[in-house]
Structure 1
Amino acid sequence: MPDNLHTSIVRDFRQTLLWPVQLMTDHLVPGAVDAPWETLNAIKDSPWVEIEDDFLHSAPHLSETRYQEFVTFMPFAQRFLYGEGKHGHAAGGYGESPLHIFSRQDIRAVRITLPEHATPLTLRVAHIELYFFFDIDVAMLALEVTASDLALNDAMEILYRLGRTYPNYWDDTGEGGHCAKRVEWLDQHDQVIAASDYEDKARYLAFVKENHVPCVSLHWSALMSPLVQHYSGQSGELRYREIEYQRMPLMAYLAFDDVSTLSRGDLIRLGLVCQPWHSDTLPFSEQFLQDFEQQHCYDRYWDEVRQDPWSTTRIMCTGQNFVVVGSHQHRVFSNDKNGIKRHYQNQYFLLFLIAHFQKAALLMLSDRMVQAISRLNMQSEDSVKSFRSNIRHVTAVFLRFTHRYWFENVSDQAVAKDLFALMLKQLDSVSLFEKTRRRIMDMAEYLEGEEIKRQADTVVRLTVVTILGLIGTMTSGLLGMNLIDLTQTSLLEKLAYFGIVFVPVSLLTFYTVIKSRRLSLFLDALSNESTGMRYKLSKLARVWSGQLEDR
């Protein structure tokens, strides 16, 4: 790494990691709704404690910060995030929020050792939260770390390396590629609670060979505990597996003394979360980056000329990343009450959470369909029944997701509306939604077609049995009911005659049902006036032959 990198200082550094995972639950129980938050609450000695929302506190008034956050969103998004009040709940409305949020307070700092850095850096942990969603088997871990007076180069390295769940490769020194040299969770006494193991190549290779899924680093596994990775040997009632790429989606807030000292290369590296390099260079080719500002930058508060002091805030969104940079001295950027910094911690975070939750939920539903199809064996009746049950369940969950969680717009406030639209565009969520909807609807149509075909086949069989039974009914009617006078016989004799008739008629009926498909082909041929008697007789002969034609 060159020695002449940019020397700017980040006065206020914040990084928020968001890790979506798929919960592996028993979704095959008819009518059951999994409640992993109840399971987590019931686990003894769990570090996770469910948060009581400000809206449920006994305090007479809501905090002004939460009020500003609340009014940012449109009513349907408010009901998703906060639920309805006691009056709406009592009136049979939306009810409580489908969000269940847990927090843990035992981890107070993270110590990260970067490659080619002898001294580790310590970041404060602002909060660690775990989000569950009603009726959706997705959980999201949110971790925010902060630091002051951090060198820009170090800030770029932390952004690039902290949120890695496993290494992509190992370099010549044995360290995990793209990962920090070491990451440690610290308690309030600076004692290590858990540490990374990116350098343990044998563990990762063995896990992938055995389970065909990547292995999560030990420090992330410890952070999620008592939730355990699905394919690990650990025992646990709550199991998860990764659903996206190994680098977690992240948000970042960086405040500088003077943001104008950053070059275009610096800004692009921050926006794309690249490793630091010379400020007068670009991380990729000019042709590749020529429309970076148009595609990824929200410059409502940014002016290249900077004639006004407030026009020094740039917001960059590249799908996986949401990065805000600005000048620390300007109140519109760093105000803790109603500035960009407060919006980043509240409104922008919720926008980011909703957008990535929607994508994770759609990926989860797609994965469920793949599982159902991969297990389908058309030769096994039990497999076919299980397939139908799985697809019906996925279809029902998707419909509930569409009406409860799917929004293409969550706010009428200009900035929030624009940023959410940019997030959806960068994540390609609308296209993913349409593809998932079409696939699920195709499956539903397939099941409906199979059901109609099965019912039609049943009707054909019953029709054949009815036609053949009609012959005997009409014959007995024409011959009269007194061929055998049983009026003077005893009850025992009547029962004997009944049995003599009942047994062969029953056998004939069952035999007719067994041959009903072949008999239906014969009846079709018999009703076809354009065919000769020889053709009709051949169809009759095939009723007892081994050949069966498709209808």
Structure 2
Amino acid sequence: MTTPDTEAPPARVRLFHASLVWPLQIEPLSLEVGKVRHWEELVRTQGTHPWKSLDDEFTEDPGMFRERHYREFVSFLPYVQRFLYGEGRCDRPKGSDSVKDSPMHVFRRKDIAVLRVTLREGSAPVELEVVHIDLYFFDDLDLVQLNVEVRARNLSLDTVRNILFRFGRAYPSGWDEEGGGLHSAHAVEWVGLDGQVMARSDTANREKFLKFVCQHRSPCISEHWASLLRPLVLADSDEPGALRFRLIEYHRMPITAYVALEQPRALSAEEWIRLGLASRLHPDEPLPIHEPTVIDFEKLYCQDRFWTNTEAGPNTRFICTGSSMMMVGDCDSAFFMDAERGVLAQFRHQYFLVFLLAHVHRAALLVFSDILVGAVNALTVSNDDSVRAFKRRIRSNFETFLRFTHRYWFHELSERPHVQAAFRMCSNHLRNDALYDEVRDETKEMSHYLDSDSQRRQSNTVVRLTVITILGLITTVTTGYFGMNIIAFGDGAPWERLLHGVLATSVFVGMVLFAIVRSKSLSELLEVLSDERAPLRSKARALWRVMTFRKP
């Protein structure tokens, strides 16, 4: 306890974990690459880049399968388990090492050991240990998720808030008076296993970002992120590469955080708000006390199922804003710090996957919407090739959306109340259900348009066939009346019979072609002739238009 005359010491974070989850839209592969999927192209080019395919934790040796992996697996419902982990080994073909029917493919690079962040100019750099860096690919989705997990010990709470606010930025939102990137860290460096700097941020390079936006009408990402993703390259850049990506959302990346605090019960209401909204609130600016997100902070974003605010505990608070997910607890709690059975294990496994799946849903829906917009923008109604390409894109997108609905889209993923509540809270803040309804309605509208266009074309074809059939009926009845032998062709020489056959065929082909060319005028003539109320003058005028090749 602190006396009124003494100031409470600044809060310390004994253990800090943070995981960035950055969704990116990946463009379809070019024809030169062939009919392979994105992750297969990454496998095919292994050896030219640091990304390696990562098998899941279900290794051949059961002794290497840890309890935290088991707890993660049984947290989810069976259909979610099949989505995340695939089928059993008994169903794999002989000699195959890949999980059967697993739609998620993970790649990891292990050449980076430390993330060095200088938050402000002149401040001491903070070194964060890189736990892992992964890429998640998904079958049937033009989507890839970058995951970067880092950790550190013994940081001040102010430093943690600054890291959460400044680290996950793809590009600067502007520049301050000194030329530094606005809202970004002053410097970010990836340090390799040998201690050498592998890549460094360039947010202060104002001309680079201005020039790129001016030329390409799209933002450029900072160099430390571009180097991390290679051989994936930005779609609008001049850098060569088969795997090209586009940004989907705002430059602030979704993030999850685990914060083990000394005496979390001692935090004031303002400190809780600043910590929970750390990725949104500038650490140096006053708290906007009149904003609804601040006024109703606990009601909107906090889940206090495991928060008792007592000495006995537990004192673990779950905070989710949609773009961020955070678990804050007491560093003196053995259960909160347990990396095998406790909250730390749950944060790094169950809760991370919950956050990942919620953002996969949102990102996939945004990609579907973008594909529809691109198809409409590329449509030129007067160009037949453009119309055919539009139909192919819409039907392909509709088929992919159906597979997404039945393979990836679900509302219930766990029978455990706290896991399911976390997923619903995250999805609700991201507005995934409303976004799904919007994309579904847009897809249905496009599908209905294609169906109506097909029906229109079919009706036009039926009209033409009807006209041709009527003309053929006249010929058939006439020749049938004369017994099909008006002229005795069988009595002539072979060349005469051949000549007569060619001439007759030419006449009938000409009649059919005439009927096709004039089918609209002929159909109008049939309508006028069948109309009992139409005067004789109108019927004669319609016949004259057909005979004189005038437009109806």
Q: Same fold (TM over 0.5)?
A: yes
1:241 partnered with 2:246: yes
Equivalent-residue separation in structure 1 for 2:548 and 2:277 (angstroms): 71
Structure 1 equivalent of residue 526 of structure 2: 523
| Residues 59, 65 of structure 2: 8 Å contact kept | no
> Which of 276, 280, 288 is matched with 2:283 structurally?
276
Structure 1 equivalent of residue 4 of structure 2: none
Q: CA deviation at 1:500?
A: 2.1
Structure 1 equivalent of residue 96 of structure 2: none
Q: Secondary structure at the match of 1:70?
A: helix
Of the structure 1 ranges 533-542 and 337-346, higher mean CA displacement relative to structure 2 is found in: 533-542
> Which of 7, 12, 15 is matched with 2:15 structurally?
12
Structure 2 equivalent of residue 70 of structure 1: 73
Q: CA deviation at 1:493?
A: 0.8
Q: CA deviation at 1:78?
A: 0.2
| Residues 372, 387 of structure 1: 8 Å contact kept | yes
1:493 partnered with 2:496: yes
- 1:69-148 equivalence runs, <5 A: 69-88=72-91, 95-148=100-153
Cα-Cα RMSD = 2.1
Q: CA deviation at 1:317?
A: 0.4
Letter in 1 for 2:43: N
| Residues 156, 275 of structure 1: 8 Å contact kept | no
| Residues 29, 243 of structure 2: 8 Å contact kept | no
Q: CA 1:372/1:332 → structure 2, altered by over 3 Å: closer, same or farther?
A: same
Q: CA 1:512/1:187 → structure 2, altered by over 3 Å: closer, same or farther?
A: same
| Residues 131, 150 of structure 2: 8 Å contact kept | yes
Q: Secondary structure at the match of 1:54?
A: coil
- 1:4-403 equivalence runs, <5 A: 7-26=10-29, 34-43=36-45, 44-59=47-62, 62-88=65-91, 95-273=100-278, 274-277=281-284, 282-285=287-290, 288-303=293-308, 306-403=309-406
**Residues 228-281 of structure 1: per-residue CA shift (max 9 Å, x gap):** 111111111111111111010000111111002211111112212223258xx6
TM-score (norm 2): 0.93
1:452 partnered with 2:459: no
Letter in 2 for 1:181: H
1:429 partnered with 2:436: no
| Residues 319, 423 of structure 1: 8 Å contact kept | yes
Of the structure 1 ranges 37-46 and 174-183, higher mean CA displacement relative to structure 2 is found in: 37-46
Equivalent-residue separation in structure 2 for 1:236 and 1:135 (angstroms): 21
**Residues 109-160 of structure 1: per-residue CA shift (max 9 Å, x gap):** 1111112542111111111111111121100010011111111111111100
Q: CA 1:332/1:33 → structure 2, altered by over 3 Å: closer, same or farther?
A: farther
Q: CA 1:546/1:322 → structure 2, altered by over 3 Å: closer, same or farther?
A: farther
Structure 2 runs not aligned, ≥5 long? 1-6, 94-98
**Residues 10-46 of structure 1: per-residue CA shift (max 9 Å, x gap):** 11111110110011114999xx974212211222331
Structure 2 equivalent of residue 466 of structure 1: 469
Of the structure 1 ranges 430-439 and 470-479, higher mean CA displacement relative to structure 2 is found in: 470-479
Letter in 2 for 1:502: T
**Residues 194-252 of structure 1: per-residue CA shift (max 9 Å, x gap):** 00110111111111111111001100000001111111111111111111110100001
Letter in 2 for 1:184: E
Equivalent-residue separation in structure 2 for 1:27 and 1:235 (angstroms): 12
| Residues 114, 157 of structure 1: 8 Å contact kept | yes
Equivalent-residue separation in structure 2 for 1:345 and 1:523 (angstroms): 75
**Residues 317-343 of structure 1: per-residue CA shift (max 9 Å, x gap):** 001000111110012322222211111
| Residues 73, 81 of structure 2: 8 Å contact kept | yes
Q: CA 1:308/1:159 → structure 2, altered by over 3 Å: closer, same or farther?
A: same
Q: CA 1:28/1:401 → structure 2, altered by over 3 Å: closer, same or farther?
A: farther
| Residues 319, 327 of structure 2: 8 Å contact kept | yes
Equivalent-residue separation in structure 2 for 1:308 and 1:467 (angstroms): 94
Structure 1 equivalent of residue 3 of structure 2: none
**Residues 171-202 of structure 1: per-residue CA shift (max 9 Å, x gap):** 11111111011111001232110001101111
Q: CA 1:346/1:410 → structure 2, altered by over 3 Å: closer, same or farther?
A: same
| Residues 104, 137 of structure 2: 8 Å contact kept | yes
Letter in 2 for 1:134: D
Letter in 2 for 1:541: W
Q: CA 1:495/1:545 → structure 2, altered by over 3 Å: closer, same or farther?
A: closer
| Residues 135, 397 of structure 1: 8 Å contact kept | yes
Q: CA 1:47/1:441 → structure 2, altered by over 3 Å: closer, same or farther?
A: same
Equivalent-residue separation in structure 2 for 1:307 and 1:119 (angstroms): 37
| Residues 28, 390 of structure 1: 8 Å contact kept | no
Q: Secondary structure at the match of 2:491?
A: coil
Q: CA deviation at 1:547?
A: 6.4
Equivalent-residue separation in structure 1 for 2:70 and 2:194 (angstroms): 35
| Residues 24, 248 of structure 2: 8 Å contact kept | yes
| Residues 293, 300 of structure 2: 8 Å contact kept | no
**Residues 338-358 of structure 1: per-residue CA shift (max 9 Å, x gap):** 211111001000001111011
Q: CA 1:127/1:287 → structure 2, altered by over 3 Å: closer, same or farther?
A: closer
| Residues 89, 96 of structure 1: 8 Å contact kept | no
Q: Secondary structure at the match of 2:505?
A: helix
Structure 1 runs not aligned, ≥5 long? none
| Residues 310, 332 of structure 1: 8 Å contact kept | no
Q: CA 1:302/1:16 → structure 2, altered by over 3 Å: closer, same or farther?
A: same
